[in-house]
Amino acid sequence: MSTKGQVFSTDFILSAFVFVIILNVAYLMWTHAHEQQDQLTAEKVMQQESYYIASLLVRTPGYPPDWTAGNVDILGLADPDHVLQDAKMDELDLMTDDDIRSALGLSSTMNIVINVTNETSTMHVDGRDLVWGTAPVDADTVSTAKRSVLVNATALYQRGTVEVVLWQ
């Protein structure tokens, strides 16, 4: 009878193979959990950002207060609080997506849609739709914030909702 222990046999190769597979599965599960956590945190940050942008748009006149498309530093559409001004939306019409991103302090990787809706669809005022930006396409992360407003247009106040959609 041999007194030597198992050194390298079929049993060993099989058990080593199973061992490596188990470690691999553990690693993949662990990596996936981290990716999920990163995704959740990124969504939280984006949700915060959309909330802040919506607040600036509907609670402030922007900066400078009488801003135009050519000199805007911070975008704001309301004067007073929660009343959107037609003149400011006219200026917003003249701004590109990059201009809007810049005036909202967004990075170039972030995209935005600003949509003023009534209960069912985008509001149509003075011959134009109140929507700006680029709609989400193949987005990894999307975040939406909504605020109720009055729209001051054609000398008549209309109830609406500002919907800010951030995506990347």
Partner 1 sequence: MLIFVMLVFTTFYTFFVNKQVAAQQEQEALMAEYIANQASFEVRMALTQGDGYTRNFTLPQQVMGTDYTVDVSNGLLILDWGDRIVVKNVVVDAVNGNIVQGENRIRNRDGELYVD
Summarize as ranges the residues that interact with partner 1 (CB under 8 A): 7-8, 12, 16, 19-20, 23, 27, 30-31, 34, 37-38, 41-42, 44-45, 48-49, 52, 55-56, 59-63, 65, 73-74, 76, 102, 105
Count of C-beta atoms within a 10 Å radius of residue 33: 10
Nearest distance from C-beta of residue 73 to partner 1, angstroms? 4
Order the strands of the 111-117 sheet from edge to edge: 83-85, 142-153, 156-167, 111-117, 131-133
Nearest distance from C-beta of residue 38 to partner 1, angstroms? 5
CA atoms within 13 A on the CB side of 110: 24
Residue whose CB is less far from partner 1, 5 or 127: 5
Residue that has been written with the tokens 């959990």 in this structure? 33
Tokens at 116, concatenated: 């003023």
Question: 159 near 120, Cβ under 8 Å?
Answer: no
- At residue 132's C-alpha, the angle toward residues 131 and 138, to 5°, is 105
Nearest distance from C-beta of residue 151 to partner 1, angstroms? 20
Residue whose CB is less far from partner 1, 33 or 135: 33
Residue whose CB is less far from partner 1, 34 or 159: 34
* Gyration radius from the chain CA atoms: 27
Nearest distance from C-beta of residue 42 to partner 1, angstroms? 6
Residue whose CB is less far from partner 1, 45 or 94: 45
Residue whose CB is less far from partner 1, 101 or 125: 101
